[in-house]
Protein backbone atom coordinates (compact mmCIF):
# COMPACT_ATOMS: atom_id res chain seq x y z
CA UNK A 1 0.00 0.00 0.00
CA UNK A 2 1.28 3.36 -0.89
CA UNK A 3 2.16 5.13 2.33
CA UNK A 4 1.00 8.63 2.81
CA UNK A 5 2.11 11.20 5.25
CA UNK A 6 0.01 13.78 6.97
CA UNK A 7 2.01 16.89 7.75
CA UNK A 8 0.66 19.13 10.45
CA UNK A 9 2.49 22.41 10.22
CA UNK A 10 1.76 25.07 12.78
CA UNK A 11 1.83 28.77 12.22
CA UNK A 12 5.32 30.07 12.94
CA UNK A 13 5.83 33.46 14.48
CA UNK A 14 9.12 35.19 15.18
CA UNK A 15 9.93 38.70 16.31
CA UNK A 16 13.11 40.58 15.54
CA UNK A 17 14.39 43.62 17.35
CA UNK A 18 17.35 45.89 16.80
CA UNK A 19 18.47 48.05 13.87
CA UNK A 20 20.60 47.51 10.84
CA UNK A 21 23.33 49.91 11.79
CA UNK A 22 25.06 52.02 9.18
CA UNK A 23 27.93 54.22 10.26
CA UNK A 24 27.94 56.90 7.55
CA UNK A 25 25.72 58.36 4.83
CA UNK A 26 26.05 60.57 1.77
CA UNK A 27 24.04 63.79 2.09
CA UNK A 28 23.24 65.87 -1.01
CA UNK A 29 22.30 69.54 -1.33
CA UNK A 30 20.58 70.70 -4.54
CA UNK A 31 19.85 74.25 -5.66
CA UNK A 32 20.17 76.39 -8.76
CA UNK A 33 20.46 73.28 -10.95
CA UNK A 34 23.57 72.11 -9.11
CA UNK A 35 24.35 69.41 -6.54
CA UNK A 36 26.85 69.29 -3.70
CA UNK A 37 27.41 65.91 -2.04
CA UNK A 38 28.99 65.42 1.36
CA UNK A 39 30.24 61.85 1.64
CA UNK A 40 30.70 59.57 4.65
CA UNK A 41 28.71 61.78 7.00
CA UNK A 42 28.09 60.54 10.52
CA UNK A 43 24.64 61.46 11.84
CA UNK A 44 23.56 63.58 13.59
CA UNK A 45 25.45 66.14 11.51
CA UNK A 46 25.35 69.92 11.82
CA UNK A 47 26.47 72.48 9.23
CA UNK A 48 26.47 76.16 10.05
CA UNK A 49 26.88 79.61 8.56
CA UNK A 50 27.80 82.90 10.14
CA UNK A 51 26.15 86.17 9.15
CA UNK A 52 29.02 88.05 10.75
CA UNK A 53 30.95 87.98 7.47
CA UNK A 54 33.00 84.82 8.08
CA UNK A 55 32.48 83.28 4.63
CA UNK A 56 34.19 80.06 5.69
CA UNK A 57 31.69 77.95 7.64
CA UNK A 58 30.57 74.78 5.89
CA UNK A 59 27.04 75.90 5.08
CA UNK A 60 28.42 79.16 3.67
CA UNK A 61 30.64 77.16 1.32
CA UNK A 62 27.76 74.89 0.22
CA UNK A 63 25.51 77.84 -0.59
CA UNK A 64 28.32 79.66 -2.37
CA UNK A 65 29.09 76.63 -4.54
CA UNK A 66 25.46 75.99 -5.42
CA UNK A 67 24.74 79.62 -6.28
CA UNK A 68 28.18 80.33 -7.80
CA UNK A 69 29.25 82.97 -5.28
CA UNK A 70 32.73 83.86 -4.10
CA UNK A 71 31.59 85.23 -0.77
CA UNK A 72 28.67 86.19 1.41
CA UNK A 73 27.00 85.11 4.63
CA UNK A 74 23.66 84.09 6.07
CA UNK A 75 20.99 86.68 6.76
CA UNK A 76 19.87 87.58 10.23
CA UNK A 77 16.71 85.45 10.03
CA UNK A 78 17.45 81.73 10.75
CA UNK A 79 16.50 79.25 8.00
CA UNK A 80 13.43 77.05 8.19
CA UNK A 81 12.92 73.47 7.02
CA UNK A 82 10.07 71.31 5.76
CA UNK A 83 9.57 67.82 4.36
CA UNK A 84 11.35 65.84 7.08
CA UNK A 85 11.37 66.05 10.85
CA UNK A 86 14.97 64.77 10.71
CA UNK A 87 16.20 68.05 9.22
CA UNK A 88 16.20 70.81 11.84
CA UNK A 89 17.15 74.48 11.46
CA UNK A 90 17.86 77.14 14.03
CA UNK A 91 20.20 79.70 15.53
CA UNK A 92 23.17 78.60 17.65
CA UNK A 93 24.03 82.02 19.02
CA UNK A 94 23.87 85.66 18.00
CA UNK A 95 25.74 85.10 14.74
CA UNK A 96 25.66 81.44 13.76
CA UNK A 97 22.77 79.62 12.11
CA UNK A 98 22.66 75.88 11.57
CA UNK A 99 21.09 72.97 9.71
CA UNK A 100 21.18 69.58 11.47
CA UNK A 101 20.42 66.24 9.84
CA UNK A 102 19.52 64.39 13.02
CA UNK A 103 18.89 60.95 11.48
CA UNK A 104 18.61 59.29 8.05
CA UNK A 105 15.38 59.91 6.15
CA UNK A 106 13.66 59.04 2.89
CA UNK A 107 12.58 61.63 0.34
CA UNK A 108 13.63 65.26 0.29
CA UNK A 109 13.71 68.01 2.88
CA UNK A 110 13.66 71.67 1.86
CA UNK A 111 15.56 74.36 3.74
CA UNK A 112 14.87 78.01 2.97
CA UNK A 113 16.76 81.04 4.21
CA UNK A 114 18.28 84.39 3.36
CA UNK A 115 21.85 84.85 2.13
CA UNK A 116 23.82 88.04 1.75
CA UNK A 117 25.35 88.23 -1.71
CA UNK A 118 28.62 90.02 -1.23
CA UNK A 119 29.23 90.09 -5.00
CA UNK A 120 25.84 91.57 -5.79
CA UNK A 121 26.38 94.87 -4.06
CA UNK A 122 25.22 93.64 -0.70
CA UNK A 123 21.82 92.38 -1.87
CA UNK A 124 20.11 89.67 0.15
CA UNK A 125 18.44 86.84 -1.76
CA UNK A 126 16.30 83.91 -0.75
CA UNK A 127 17.99 80.53 -1.11
CA UNK A 128 16.27 77.14 -1.12
CA UNK A 129 18.17 73.88 -0.61
CA UNK A 130 16.81 70.41 -1.31
CA UNK A 131 18.49 67.96 1.07
CA UNK A 132 18.36 64.19 0.63
CA UNK A 133 20.21 60.96 1.43
CA UNK A 134 20.44 59.12 -1.92
CA UNK A 135 19.64 55.43 -1.81
CA UNK A 136 18.51 55.38 1.79
CA UNK A 137 15.53 53.10 2.44
CA UNK A 138 14.21 52.84 5.95
CA UNK A 139 14.52 49.35 7.44
CA UNK A 140 11.33 47.48 8.26
CA UNK A 141 11.83 45.03 11.11
CA UNK A 142 10.67 41.45 10.61
CA UNK A 143 7.72 40.95 12.96
CA UNK A 144 6.66 37.45 12.00
CA UNK A 145 7.05 34.41 9.79
CA UNK A 146 3.90 32.81 8.39
CA UNK A 147 3.86 29.61 6.35
CA UNK A 148 1.57 29.42 3.35
CA UNK A 149 -0.45 26.39 4.56
CA UNK A 150 -1.18 24.68 7.85
CA UNK A 151 -1.38 21.03 6.72
CA UNK A 152 -0.61 18.79 3.75
CA UNK A 153 -0.92 15.14 2.69
CA UNK A 154 2.16 13.78 0.93
CA UNK A 155 3.24 10.48 -0.62
CA UNK A 156 6.62 9.02 0.33
CA UNK A 157 9.12 8.91 -2.51
CA UNK A 158 7.74 11.46 -4.83
CA UNK A 159 5.62 14.26 -3.46
CA UNK A 160 7.15 17.64 -2.73
CA UNK A 161 5.56 20.54 -0.93
CA UNK A 162 6.66 24.12 -1.42
CA UNK A 163 6.20 26.25 1.67
CA UNK A 164 6.28 30.00 1.25
CA UNK A 165 7.20 32.19 4.18
CA UNK A 166 7.43 35.94 4.48
CA UNK A 167 11.25 35.79 4.62
CA UNK A 168 12.21 32.65 2.66
CA UNK A 169 10.94 29.86 0.45
CA UNK A 170 11.46 26.18 1.22
CA UNK A 171 10.59 22.81 -0.34
CA UNK A 172 9.61 19.89 1.89
CA UNK A 173 9.92 16.42 0.30
CA UNK A 174 8.41 13.27 1.81
CA UNK A 175 11.20 10.64 1.94
CA UNK A 176 10.02 8.23 4.67
CA UNK A 177 7.38 7.71 7.32
CA UNK A 178 8.31 9.28 10.62
CA UNK A 179 8.68 12.70 12.15
CA UNK A 180 9.96 15.83 10.44
CA UNK A 181 10.91 19.11 12.06
CA UNK A 182 10.58 22.37 10.15
CA UNK A 183 12.25 25.50 11.49
CA UNK A 184 11.83 29.09 10.31
CA UNK A 185 14.41 31.65 11.37
CA UNK A 186 14.16 35.44 11.20
CA UNK A 187 17.45 37.32 11.21
CA UNK A 188 18.27 40.99 11.55
CA UNK A 189 20.70 40.81 8.62
CA UNK A 190 23.93 41.21 10.58
CA UNK A 191 26.68 38.80 11.62
CA UNK A 192 25.45 39.03 15.20
CA UNK A 193 23.04 36.13 15.75
CA UNK A 194 22.27 36.91 19.38
CA UNK A 195 19.03 38.69 18.46
CA UNK A 196 17.89 36.24 15.75
CA UNK A 197 14.72 34.26 16.41
CA UNK A 198 13.72 30.76 15.32
CA UNK A 199 10.42 28.93 15.65
CA UNK A 200 9.97 25.17 15.34
CA UNK A 201 6.67 23.33 15.34
CA UNK A 202 6.01 20.65 12.72
CA UNK A 203 5.27 16.93 12.90
CA UNK A 204 4.67 14.31 10.22
CA UNK A 205 2.58 11.13 10.66
CA UNK A 206 1.52 8.34 8.30
CA UNK A 207 -2.21 7.73 7.85
CA UNK A 208 -2.07 4.35 9.64
CA UNK A 209 -1.09 6.06 12.86
CA UNK A 210 2.57 5.06 13.11
CA UNK A 211 4.49 8.05 14.39
Question: pLDDT (tens digit, 9 = 90+) per residue, 124-165?
Answer: 889 999 999 999 998 776 666 666 666 667 777 766 767 665
Q: For residue range 76-118, what is the model confidence (pLDDT) as tens digits?
A: 889 999 999 999 999 988 778 999 999 999 999 999 999 988 7
| Nearest of 148, 167, 178, 144 to residue 5 by alpha carbon | 178
Same domain, 46 and 125: yes
162 and 121: one domain? no
| One domain for residues 29 and 78 | yes
Pairing of strands 4-9, 151-155: antiparallel
**Above 90 in pLDDT, residue 67?**
yes
Q: Calculate the alpha carbon distances from 50 to 6, 33, 46, 109, 166 in Å.
A: 75, 24, 13, 22, 51
State which residues form the domain around 41: 25-132
Backbone angles phi, psi at 66, to 5 degrees: -65, -35
Q: Where are the beta strands (DSSP E) in 51-166?
A: 73-74, 80-82, 87-91, 96-101, 108-117, 123-132, 151-155, 160-164
Amino acid sequence: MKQKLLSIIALLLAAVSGAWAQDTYNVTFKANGKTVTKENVTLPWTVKCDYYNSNDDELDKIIQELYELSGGWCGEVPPSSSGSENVICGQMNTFEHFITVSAPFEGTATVAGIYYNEEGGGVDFNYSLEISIPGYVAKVNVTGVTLSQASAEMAVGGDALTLTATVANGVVTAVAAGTATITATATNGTDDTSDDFSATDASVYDLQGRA
